[in-house]
Chains A and B, each alone.
Chain A
Amino acid sequence: MKRALGIIGIFLAILVYSIFFAENFTTGINLMQLTNRTALYAVLALGAALVIVTGGIDLSIGSVVCLAGIMTPWLLIEHEWTPWQVIPTVLAMSAFIGLCHGLLITRLKLQPFLVTLCGLLLYRGIARWMTGDQSQGFMGEYGDVRAIALAKFSIPGLTDYRLPATVIPALVLAVLIGLFLSRTVWGRWLLATGRNESAARYSGVPTAWLVTGAYVACSLLAGFGGMLFIFDIGSAQPSDFGNFYELYAIAAAVLGGCSLRGGEASIVGVLFGVATLRVLQNTITLAGYSSQIEFAVVGGVLLLGVAADELIRRYAARRLERAGAIERAGSAARA
């Protein structure tokens, strides 16, 4: 939890600013959309966090979002599959993509950055080619299936705010992944692998399978997230759907306290990281800033957050040293 305190602080600061300075920020409809978006991006960021924990990175998240998201209406409408065929197929395909990433990284020992960079280009290319670069949508059909993402639940006592259904999968996944990391043997192993892959291997941890598993989970969540996104928005262009989503996911995970060196994660932090980026984006729009500046603001905040984190870490390390780490044998520093 301690790791999440910083981002919670940043979140609250931006939230307060938004409440006072962004017009219409506190309206029910805006908050509803904000919660919905946060939940959708959270699904992606949770997957990114699992990969970052291993010390890896997945740049293909946005393209998997696109491929999975585009394929869903394409199979339903153009190929007239049933939802019961489409949903398992798309999820299985996403998981398979992750499996390929994982095997290339752990067996062929390719660098995660390169493997997933190729994935980024590959899956978007496939999505655009497959659909002839045509916009794909549900043509007003399948309202029942889309309700997975579109349904809103009334909350007693609130009249103009209803809870978006996407919050449910996001929270369930967050709790499951949080428990996985903190309470299960595999979670322990995954964190250990991220911290020191070699030491984990020498301790008998099946590191290759764990890392592969992390990539499978990440792509699976990206595919699932892609489906939720398309259910939510109804139709999308293969050329721009999901663009930069991997960067939002990675940024949120890092803001939330996941070290890119691996071995550290805070699921609460990741959720607040996502929320921070969403509120920021929302406020830029509402407060009347030019929306073109969004990337610059997000980049600036991310830089500030990461720099602050590093400074706090150093301060803590110095205090720890003063407080009694007296004489370490030189061998400790070898890492």
Chain B
Amino acid sequence: MQVERPILLRVRGVGRRYAGVTALASIDADVRGGEVLAIVGENGAGKSTLLKILSGVVQPSEGSLEVADVRGVLAPVELNGVRDATRAGIALVHQELNLAENLDVAGSIYLGREPSRFGFLDRGRMRADARKWLARVGLDIDPGTLCGTLPIAQRQLVEIAKALSTESRVLILDEPTSSLTTRETDRLLEIMDELRHTGVAVVFVSHHLDEVMKIADRVIVLRDGRKTGELVRGEYDRAMIERLMVGRDIAASERRAIGANAAVRLEVAQLTSAHRRKRPVSFAVRAGEIVGLAGLVGAGRTEILEAIAGVARHGGEVRLDGRTLVGDASSRVRRGVAIVPEDRARNGLFLENPVAMNMSLAWIDQTSRARLVDQRGEAGLVSRMVARMQLRPPQPARRVQTLSGGNQQKTVIGRWLAVDPAVLLLDEPTRGVDVGARAEIHAEVRRLAAAGSAIVFASSELEEVLLLADRIIVMHDGAIAGELAAHDATEIAIMHLATGGAAHAHSTGTHA
């Protein structure tokens, strides 16, 4: 059974420096056909740089790459651009999907290399060929479907089909599951498994160690641009990977009991949000309580958070400390309602601006006198927040664009911590955030709760819900499907409710 799998791509002492700063140093790795290789590491560990080198987007400043020819003989190659990589049989599927929404599926797969007959587009052949590749990724859709109408998960599969259609033998996936639901993720993992059996080498980056544990034959762990370990399936456990990633043990969460007599701070009554079902939702959050909204994508969690924050219109009532909240986000922020949005690049950050401006914008009016910006006070408060959030690098003047995902998220959260919000709403607080930063973000959220704020967060990761929440509200199809106390909630119980199962024994019933 243990046939030596053929090496398709060899990485020899590859490194990359940017103006003297080492992003990646002396990486050795063999990528073998028929194998799934996972690359893990914190944000900023060098994963993206490595992927960019493998796919020809950037060139290594040291070391070399070798690619196997048809006979399996390795020969050095220089990949000066994606085209070279494609020719060498290496294809990268980006984290942000690059499909043109106005093209159909077949057109996207063959974009730039459309089959033609006498100079005319041979649409029939293109569709037939596309169908073949779609079948490889288990996608049974009409190749004439517009990409814009496909759900994210299917677009992802189309991207993979596109990568396969270039006859690539090394398929590189950059965080392929970051926007997929649990079920879609499982499906993708199955497809990765099938691809492995066809002899393709699958390289993928993921923040989800569960997936890595499930699928990877080998795991390469990076930290600060160096390889800190290469683990073979069956020879490692989760804790080992985590230790290699962060170089320290991650503290387990401590669960706090919320007194049932703590005052109710946030009350949501018969709230109808922008969710298509318009089903009324009611719940209450006490001072110091952290409530997790669980549910599948589309269950209506984001809509509820955005309604409470006032960034979207809603029906029903939202009360803070007994007083009804009216108006849009600008008036609610002044009453202490803060939101950390799901899509931080679009709704959270001013990417071209420095950290300081990004943080101070939300409270600059409160520290100003007569509407004149108190620049010294601003700088002081910003640098305190940068320190408190352990931003790396701790430079308030740095443009947010140049920060890693975890540090970008810390910037958005740090914005609100400066003003001790009465209610903090977080939508996917640690999406695309590495393990270390995630623990720090969780710690800050707990600290804020301990100081008496009411906290509601939505997360697609059950693990995070179980880790952070004191109480879990499970949503299904726009309504509350049930409520679970954190101490007796399990992933199974949550999934049961989230998928439309009836509230069962563990449920404490819908909150009045």
Contacts and interface: CB of A to CB of B under 8 A. Distances in A.
Contacts, number: 147
Interface stretch (B262-270, B326-334, B495-503): B326-334
Contacts of A133: none
Interface string B22-36: 010000000000000
Given A203-B361, A332-B405, A196 B349 contact: yes
B302 to A, nearest CB: 12
Interface string A205-233: 11100000000000000000000000000
B330 A199 contact: no
Contact of B365 (A185, A199, A202, A331): A185
A328 B349 contact: no
B311 interface: yes
Given A332-B351, A334-B96, A335-B345, A326 B361 contact: no
Contact of B346 (A185, A328, A335): A335
A288 interface: no
A326 B349 CA distance: 19
B49 interface: yes
A263 B329 contact: no
Closest 8 CB pairs of A and B: A204-B333, A329-B405, A325-B402, A206-B330, A330-B95, A334-B345, A326-B23, A203-B362
A195 B352 contact: yes
Interface of B: 18-19, 21, 23, 43-49, 94-96, 174-175, 309, 311, 328-330, 332-334, 338-339, 341, 343-353, 357, 361-362, 364-365, 368, 371-373, 399-406, 408, 415, 431-432
Given A199-B347, A335-B351, A329 B332 contact: no
A331 B408 contact: yes
B350 A196 contact: yes
B488 to A, nearest CB: 34
Contact of B401 (A198, A327, A328): A328
Contacts of B350: 192, 195-196, 199-200, 263
Interface of A: 183-186, 188-189, 192, 195-196, 198-207, 263, 320-335
A202 B329 contact: yes
B329 A201 contact: yes
Contacts of B399: 320
Nearest to A195: B350
Contacts of B345: 331-335
Given A188-B361, A201-B311, A322-B18, A328 B94 contact: no
A86 B408 CA distance: 54
Contacts of B18: 321-326
Contact of A185 (B44, B174, B333, B364): B364
A205 B174 contact: no
B293 to A, nearest CB: 18
A263 to B, nearest CB: 7
Nearest to B400: A332
Given A188-B357, A263-B352, A328-B402, A204 B95 contact: no
